[in-house]
Amino acid sequence: MSGELFRLSLKEAMAYAAKHGSADISAALTGRIRSLNTQINAFLRCAEDTHHPPVKGPLGGLPVAYKDNICIRGQETTCASKILKGHVPPYDATVVRKLREAGGTFLGQCNMDEFAFGSSCETSAYGICRIPWDTDRVPGGSSGGSAAAVAADMALAALGSDTGGSIRQPASFCGVVGLKPTYGRVSRYGLIAFGSSFDQIGPLTKTVEDSAIMLNLIAGHDPLDSTSADRPVPDFTKALRRDVRGLKIGVPKEYSVEGIDPEVEKSVVAAAEVLKKLGADIRTVSLPHTQYSVAVYYIVAVAEASSNLGRYDGVEYGLRATEKNLKEMYFETRDRGFGQEAKRRILLGTFVLSAGYYEAFYLKGQKVRTLIRQDFENAFREVDLLLAPTAPTAAFKVGEKMNDPLAMYLSDIFTIPVNLAGIPAISIPCGLTSAGLPIGLQLMARPFDEETLFRAAYTFEQETEHYRKKPSI
């Protein structure tokens, strides 16, 4: 048994650690990482010391993995960018502090798209990450390393961040559970900013129950993040009831788009059937402004990104390319430090914010964002949840979309509207394609109603047990 301890769910590991301590599990995980990471490249850095003294708190010393854009005091944190190479934050992100206080220890930092720009993990400056299901394929992005680590049993649970789908789309590609909480539910303090009005930290886990456990540990108001919500945090594990009777679930008709893989569509329709059989009231709803979501996101989110990335200039963080003179230091540092996708976003973002274009693009984008948010408000007057695919396809091949940014951007077509509206959503496994690749089902809920998400996700998971299918690596 002890050799296979890495296969435990977080919940099972907590029960084991409460009896026997966490050392065996930590050792099993680090062994697993050692044997698989050269193939998968899910981890950029790992804990060296596997021997933990007994730790109090619900996690009892169990190790947790973090996306490499979450600041950990004294630990190099790079956002998978060359520009932050050698950057060692002098403070912990609030989520890191909270997990530590809950008895969590440090397992390692996971690969990602550079600055979270991407849907495949291929923009990482530190090498491509691959899925354990088929190592010719990408894990999705940007939290691809976090999702692949959990899928390959290299981590019990990992934190990721989601600006336009970066937790849910990799969860879908890797066959794990990914939760994007409501904007404001989890503190962003210490999350290296991409799009500050979108970014949200959330867990990637093996089960829905583990997701609720993790959200319990990281949620809550934080005076250090003025956008974090000052409202009570329920015990999310109490929402894990196997019952969807009477729940009204809407299927947005605009989400049946061209380009969606018929196998994905089929398995999502089948998922809706399952919930219907269990007593949910499934109906079609309309989110009329859906078609503008990707365009609006690539105006507003890149505007925020270009402003957030202005601080990397060789002065304070990471790389300083030259000290010849100030101007050259700025230019050279940014030229050598940022990868191609980061540069594309900085240019786009600066463009839409510049005089003359601000009104035409940024301001208009904000207005359409409001319309998209209102679409959801209207839909949630009629239904309790929305159901859709997480992504239009299963995991694609390494290199397949790298030279076609638009095709890459369109892989977030079903996840981006959620971030524009700030609502919570979860991706859970709902089957495999004929090629044996995971498919993700997305459920979306009203702001701060993660409980209903968990309830429906748990019911579906327990009924279908798709989560038990594992890659044979």
Q: Which residues participate in catalysis according to the annotation?
A: 67, 142, 166
Question: Using the rule CB under 6 A, is 412 a contact of ligand GLN?
Answer: yes
Q: CB of 96: closest distance to ligand GLN in angstroms?
A: 19
202 lines the binding site for ligand GLN (CB under 6 A): no
Nearest approach, Cβ of residue 27 and ligand GLN (Å): 33
Q: Find the binder of ligand GLN among 60, 132, 145, 164 (CB under 6 A).
A: 164
Q: Is 194 in the site for ligand GLN (CB under 6 A)?
A: yes
Q: Which residues ranging from 143 to 162 are in contact with ligand GLN (CB under 6 A)?
A: 162
8 A C-beta contact, residue 128 and residue 402 = no
Q: Taking the complex as a whole, how short is the minimal distance between the CB of residue 241 and ligand GLN, in angstroms?
A: 30
Name the phi and psi angles at 103, rounded to 5: 95, 10
Residues 6+ apart with CB under 8 A from 135: 39, 40
The binding track of 370-409 with respect to ligand GLN, each residue x by CB under 6 A or -, is ----------------------------------------
> With respect to ligand GLN, which residue has the nearer C-beta, 26 or 187?
187
Which CB sits closer to ligand GLN, 166 or 211? Answer: 166
Least distance between ligand GLN and beta carbon 412 (Å):
5
Nearest to 129 by CA among 116, 155, 115, 110: 110
The only residue of 22, 78, 94, 163 in contact with ligand GLN, by rule CB under 6 A = 163
- Judged by beta carbon, residue 44 or residue 247, the one nearer ligand GLN is 44
Answer yes or no whether residue 142 interacts with ligand GLN by CB under 6 A.
yes
Interface characters, 93-122, with ligand GLN (x: CB under 6 A): -----------------------xxxx---
Q: Does residue 460 touch ligand GLN according to CB under 6 A?
A: no
Among residues 138 and 275, whose Cβ is nearest to ligand GLN?
Answer: 138
- The closest alpha carbon to 23, from 67, 77, 64, 62, belongs to 62
Q: Which two tokens stand for residue 251?
A: 């299927």
Q: Does 165 bind ligand GLN (CB under 6 A)?
A: yes
Please tell me whether residue 193 binds ligand GLN under the rule CB under 6 A.
Answer: no
- Output the smallest distance, CB 38 to ligand GLN, in A: 26
Close Cβ partners of 166 (under 8 Å, ≥ 6 residues apart): 112, 113, 116, 119, 141, 142, 143, 160
Residue nearest to ligand GLN (CB): 166
Closest approach of Cβ 141 to ligand GLN, in Å?
A: 6
Nearest distance in Å: CB 451, ligand GLN:
24
Residues touching ligand GLN, count (CB under 6 A)? 13
Chain residues that interact with ligand GLN, rule: CB under 6 A: 116-119, 141-142, 162-166, 194, 412
